Amino acid sequence: MDFWAREDEAGARSRSFYLAFSASLVLAVIVFYFMMAVCYMAADLSLKWFIIPLYTGRQLWDIQVASLPAFIYGTPQRLLALRPILMVGSFIMAIILGNSLYKTRAIKKGGGAYIAAAMGGQLLQTPQSPKEKQLVNVVEEMAVASGLPCPRIFIMPKELSINAVTAGLDHEDAIVAVTKGALNHLERDEIQGVVAHEFAHILNGDYALNLTMAGWLYGLLFFSVQGRDMINTGFEIMDIGDDEPNLGALLVGLPMFLMGLVLWVGGWLGKLTAEIIQAAFSREREHLADAFAVQFTRNPAGLAGALKKIAAAPGQGAMINGQALIMKSFFIVSPAKLRELWRSHPRLSERILTLEPEWDGALPEVDYSALAPAEQARRLRGTENLSRAVILPKARSRLLERAGPLADHWTGTLVLGLLANGQPTGPCLDTARRLYAQIPGDLRAATSNPALAPALVAAVFIGDEPGLKARQLALIEEILGSGTADRARELKEQLSENQRLPLLGLTSPALQTVAADDRRRLGQAVKALVRADGKIDIFEVAACQILKKQLGLTLVSAKALAETSPAYLETLQGDVVTVLSILAYRGADSPGEAQAAFAVGRAHFNQWPPFDLAPPEVATSKDLALALDRLSSAPEKIKTALILGAVETALHNHRISPKEYEVLRALAAALEAPLPLRF
């Protein structure tokens, strides 16, 4: 199952979502229309409620309808008439659509960081506690293993339940946020399973639809979200003070609580329809993400252990932040009260049994007393609780029957985008963990420090030949300053060849916080460093592709890109030949072996006119840079065939060398596809 097939599927699901949203909007407007009329009539508390029916014999409903404003409902007032329905319905629709458009625009502008901040997340840049350092290590290992840019890490300090979430506009913008409860209560293999689950949503492109859903569903959820936040704020205000009642706090907090209650009750339909839509579009994605976590970590006990602790906790991952209702489908478990008919996530018991078919229903005893104050426990009251539950034999059998087919996801294709014969290309996470452990501490610290990341990026491009090295250091000093040049010299001494590309991927969060002018200068410095020796090698092509979005890098001039063949498909075919030929030559020990490897990749383009392996003097790194820039805008079907053909060409001799990995990494970065680590 390839990466772009996932994106096509996400596009189809997006179209279905818009249809469901439109139907829900019409239903919400109709119900809100009658609800507003009833609320207006109920607000009229005069004695006519009781006196007029006794003396006139008129029905109370008729009397109250007559109290509706005539300029909307006409004279005599009629509830079922076109004029009031259009006027009130338009007003309600304007509120819902206005809030949806506002939230959608804010999400597109702020991306993953906006989502994290809306839920009270705080960016983790410099880990302080052992648990924070452990989380950073796990996320960075996962990024190295998957070939994705390292996502930014956020902590939600006010959320004491166990939960985690991912969001982002694209791979570069992705974030991973965990609650304080998850950080404190999960062991390393458990947090690794949770992070792998969240990485699955990034790899599968789920974040795109999730962000679309979050923006548009905000309108339907607006009243419920605002009401819930006002209820919580009212409680907090009224809780101020000693044991004796605080009159001032009561006078402020009680009206806010009551107003929030009205909004929360009034928004029940929007909340209901939003939950149904989220359930319809996200439940199966959670099964796939669980399957990926097991495939990737090869440790089902890690994720199963985390889910068991969530099941044993009060509230089972429920969160107090009202914005979590909008982002419900982003989380590893639902952050709100669960309902059987419209769950956004499968039942915890079902997911655990899928991971551990022998599970007897027993849950761990976890001490939450140190982190669960009274107000947290009160807010979580009423949510589903499976603590110390033991599933009955018949119920367990039914769950196993339902969970059984999901195990097929573990033995089929790995949702990574780069596969060989439908099987994972290797134990990526184990390789990444060994490589990550070998990275010196100064280099790891530089990847997450905005002040040091530019020096690390520059150090990656410094050559080993003394004369070249001196010229490049002079360029760094000229463009970025003497301090950056000195630091780059120090970091260069600690760099090994196979660490360079993974380290560039880890700098993504830090580079996003660097000022735009500083990023522009860094991009200029990288170009100057690449051109310092008068040639471009494959590593430099790959490195510049990784940094392309962050620094606006391109090694190919606009003039060179414009000088293409008039025949578009002919140009694309030439670019495909260049990529496959370079891969074939870099992994072969003889011309015959190169020809055989090229033939394996060419098989994915049998529908094209026949083409042959390019001569070595034509398949150069400069040609590769030009080909990749053109292929980045190729149709997705061509991208799919090329990425699969490239992987099979590299795997022709049943291994991927570091030189082949550089070409594959450059190709994956150009096509914005993940690349598992294997060499």
Q: What percent of the chain has pLDDT over 70?
A: 75
Q: Is the pLDDT of residue 290 over 80?
A: yes
More confident residue, 438 or 378: 438
Residue 21 banded pLDDT, cuts 50, 70, 90 = confident
Cα distance between residue 253 and residue 557, in whole Å:
63
Q: What is the pLDDT of residues 369-404, one digit of tens each?
A: 654 443 444 444 433 444 333 444 444 444 344 444
Output the six-digit token pair for 209.
């639809």
Cα distance between residue 645 and residue 604, in whole Å:
6
Side chain identity at residue 133, one-letter code: K
Res 556: pLDDT:
65
Res 63: pLDDT:
63
Residue 3 banded pLDDT, cuts 50, 70, 90 = very low
Q: Is the pLDDT of residue 9 over 80?
A: no
Res 548: pLDDT:
87
Half-sphere exposure of 532 (CA within 13 A, CB side): 25
Mean per-residue pLDDT, 219-229: 76
Residues with Cβ within 8 Å of 645's Cβ and at least 6 positions away in sequence, in order, are 576, 580, 600, 601, 602, 603, 604, 605
Report which of 565, 545, 568, 566 is spatially closest to residue 555, judged by C-alpha positions. 545
Cα end-to-end span (Å), the chain:
22
Q: Classify residue 220 as exposed, middle or buried by CB count within 10 Å of its CB (0-12, 13-18, 19+).
A: buried
With beta carbons less than 8 A apart as the criterion, state whether 363 and 311 touch: yes
Domains of the chain as residue ranges with CATH: 439-555 (1.10.3680), 559-671 (no CATH)
With beta carbons less than 8 A apart as the criterion, state whether 224 and 333 touch: no
Q: Is the peptide bond before 76 cis (omega within 30 degrees of 0)?
A: yes
Mean per-residue pLDDT, 185-189: 92
Pick left, alpha or beta for residue 361 (phi over 0 → left; psi -120 to 50 → alpha; otherwise beta): left
Residue 56 banded pLDDT, cuts 50, 70, 90 = very low
Cα distance between residue 169 and residue 326, in whole Å:
16
Q: Is the pLDDT of residue 253 over 50?
A: yes
User: Which SS3 state, helix, strand or coil, does residue 652 take?
Assistant: helix
Q: Is the pLDDT of residue 330 over 90?
A: no
Res 64: pLDDT:
67
Mean per-residue pLDDT, 213-222: 76
Positive or negative torsion for Cα 579, 582, 586, 592:
positive
Residue 560 banded pLDDT, cuts 50, 70, 90 = low
Mean per-residue pLDDT, 307-328: 78
Report which of 565, 561, 530 is spatially closest to residue 544, judged by C-alpha positions. 530
With beta carbons less than 8 A apart as the criterion, state whether 320 and 163 touch: no
Residue 1 banded pLDDT, cuts 50, 70, 90 = very low
Catalytic residue annotation:
198
Q: What is the pLDDT of residues 111-166, one digit of tens each?
A: 888 888 888 899 998 888 999 999 999 999 888 887 888 899 999 998 888 999 88
